[in-house]
């Protein structure tokens, strides 16, 4: 029985994991590699519950790093896999080069995304890939989040919302981790263009999600499936989150 099962929620966490697994498997197939031999780095792994440990359970060789000590300690306590390791670290202090680098919902927390992307390039093998996911800064979830932050000023509303739990597992234990960027799809593509990377694949996450929807509509059977399917069909401008595969420019 799998211990680290990622259940779907309105934020598309299961859809994201499935995308990541598919891209890793494609990489192994294209490069004629066994998955146990592929070196994976997960930057900003947080608690490890949503990506690093589920991948470890599938037999992948992965190092998760994060700047938050409490998140890494939590991840280490839950780690039961020989091929999975966790460190309090940053990309600047990584000496090895990797086949695949994961950076999921990290870019929006950085002051200089282009500088970060170029650092990733220096830690990637020549035929390596980066799997990057980041939220639409003008999508449903971000706008709903701003509304909720406003409503939480009212104690009655705050207490009511906090009593209704959603299915969003703790990504990080770092409660001071805030968004510093709000990306539009066009602006994000410009950032990639000005870095050392090019986009080789892009898919959308769901369309409808956020702290209110997670506690209401997402409880309706089929709603999350519907939101994911809509995300596959619409313009990236309407998606909640974007999934990318990047390769270094030649």
pLDDT tens per residue across span 26-57 = 999 999 999 989 999 999 999 999 999 999 99
DSSP 214: G
Domain boundaries, the chain: 13-248
| Average pLDDT over the chain, rounded to an integer | 90
DSSP 195: T
Residue 209 CB contacts under 8 Å (≥ 6 apart), including other chains:
9, 10, 11, 12, 140, 141, 144, 218, 227, 240
pLDDT tens per residue across span 82-96 = 999 999 999 999 999
Class of CATH domain 13-248: alpha beta
């Amino acid at each position: 029985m799998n211990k680290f099962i990622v259940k779907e929620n309105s934020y598309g966490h299961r859809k994201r994991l499935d995308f990541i697994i598919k891209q890793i498997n494609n990489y192994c197939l294209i490069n004629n590699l066994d998955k146990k031999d592929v070196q994976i780095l997960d930057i900003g792994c947080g608690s490890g519950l949503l990506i690093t440990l589920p991948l470890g359970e599938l037999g992948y060789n992965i190092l998760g790093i994060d700047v938050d000590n409490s998140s890494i300690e939590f991840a280490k306590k839950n780690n039961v896999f020989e091929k999975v390791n966790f460190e309090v670290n940053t990309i600047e202090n990584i000496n090895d080069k990797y086949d695949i680098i994961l950076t999921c919902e990290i870019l929006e927390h950085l002051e200089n995304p282009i500088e970060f992307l170029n650092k990733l390039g220096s830690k990637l093998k020549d035929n390596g890939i980066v799997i990057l996911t980041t939220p639409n800064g003008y999508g449903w979830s971000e706008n709903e989040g701003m509304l909720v932050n406003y409503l939480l000023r009212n104690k009655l509303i705050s207490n009511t919302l906090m009593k209704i739990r959603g299915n969003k597992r703790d990504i990080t234990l770092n409660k001071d981790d805030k968004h510093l960027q709000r990306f539009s799809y066009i602006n994000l593509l410009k950032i990639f263009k000005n870095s050392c990377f090019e986009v080789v694949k892009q898919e959308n996450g769901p369309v409808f999600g956020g702290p209110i929807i997670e506690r209401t509509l997402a409880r309706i059977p089929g709603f999350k499936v519907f939101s994911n399917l809509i995300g596959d069909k619409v313009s990236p401008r309407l998606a909640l989150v974007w999934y990318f595969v990047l390769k270094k420019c030649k």
